[in-house]
Amino acid sequence: MIQATLHQLRVFEATARNGSFTKAAEELMIRQPTVSSQVKQLTQAIGLPLFEQMGKQLYLTQAGEELLATCQEIFDRLDHLEMKVADLKGMRQGRLRLAVVTTAKYFIPRILGQFCQEYPDIDIALQVTNHRKLTQRMRNNLDDLYILSQPPEDVDLVAQPFLENPLVLVARRDHPWAKRRSIPITELNDQPFIMRELGSGTRQAVQDLLNRCKVKVKVRLELGSNEAIKQAIAGGLGISILSKHSLSPVELKSEYTLLNVQHLPIQRRWYAVYLSGKQLSVIADAFLHYLLEMPSEEGMIA
Ligand code: PGA
């Protein structure tokens, strides 16, 4: 019988998923030598190497692959048990694991706050990341629910729309086009533009529109955060297309203006998503229904 602790299995799973001891240590909030020693003890217990190291990157051996699949089964079963126990106790408590794309961070915490008034004893893990990283989390089955605007087509999902997510063209308040109406989109040709990073869902939607309209903007700056883009616009570095939810009504009145360019806003929606076949915990199911039953006016989250 292999002697391994649950902690060692968790450390191994995080190391395998991240391909790195350092990243696993960051994720688990423990020290890197602890990760290495836990993996070493587990390797001794299994009796075969679990990883091969090439440069800084770790690769799983065949034994490692087998162990990873077993770990994932064990953790799934444990989650399931936790959920059943919460059900049996009839208690409104447990952990809600939520992962959202960057723009959703402007409204999801507020909705969570309202939700927690009804479920004060729940424990929430909220991950905020870009579209590409979020879909990786989905493929690894790391969370209960995901919030994003473009559910991937190659993952078997249940996706339910709940709110509009317009992408608008944002400029500094004193932009020379501020008072113009119905500006042809071709005028964006060669405009200094601030773009989100590769892997961003916003960037993909913007690029699709520009390609469709055969417009080539001059990308002056590429930034990995909506907040940084807002600062760059305010600093006069260019214009950008962002989710309207990333701007507060006060910011819209004082610092920025939305340019009236044809084909904008890009109309998108927010989706609450979970993996098909995933058995949602009582609390995840309650939060999903809370989202879906929310009034859909923008005012709710502006
Ligand atoms: P992003 O995604 O944060 O990766 O740009 C936003 C979205 O999918 O709407």
- Looking only at the bridges linking them, the beta strands covering 145-148 and 269-275 are antiparallel
Whole-number Å distance, alpha carbon 202 to ligand 1 midpoint, is 5
Q: Give the DSSP letter string of 194-224.
A: EEEPTT-HHHHHHHHHHHHTT---EEEEEES
Cα dihedral 152, 153, 156, 159 sign: positive
Query: What CATH fold (topology level) applies to the domain 6-67?
Result: Arc Repressor Mutant, subunit A (1.10.10)
Whole-number Å distance, alpha carbon 242 to ligand 1 midpoint, is 9
Average pLDDT over residues 109-124: 88
Q: Is the distance from the beta carbon of residue 150 to the nearest atom of ligand 1 less than 6 Å? A: yes
Q: For 189, how many CA atoms within 13 A lie in the half-sphere containing its CB? A: 6
Whole-number Å distance, alpha carbon 295 to ligand 1 midpoint, is 22
Choice from 138, 168, 202 to test ligand 1 binding pocket (greatest atom count within 8 A of CB):
202
Average pLDDT over residues 75-93: 75
Distance between alpha carbon 150 and the CA centroid of its chain, in Å? 11
Domain boundaries defined on the chain: 6-67, 92-164+269-301, 167-258
Minimum mean pLDDT range among 34-43, 79-88, 264-273: 79-88
pLDDT score of 301 more than 70: no
- Homologous superfamily (CATH) for 167-258: Periplasmic binding protein-like II (3.40.190.10)
Task: Give strand pairing partners of 148.
Answer: 271
Q: What is the pLDDT of residues 157-170, one digit of tens each?
A: 999 999 899 999 99
Averaged confidence pLDDT in the chain: 90
Output 223 or 283, whichever has higher pLDDT.
Answer: 223
Whole-number Å distance, alpha carbon 226 to ligand 1 midpoint, is 10
pLDDT score of 203 more than 90: yes
Q: Is the distance from the beta carbon of residue 196 to the nearest atom of ligand 1 less than 6 Å? A: yes
Query: What CATH fold (topology level) applies to the domain 92-164+269-301?
Result: D-Maltodextrin-Binding Protein; domain 2 (3.40.190)
Instruction: Check if 6-67 and 167-258 are the same fold.
Output: no
Q: Give the pLDDT band (50/70/90) at residue 92.
A: low
Average pLDDT over residues 280-296: 86
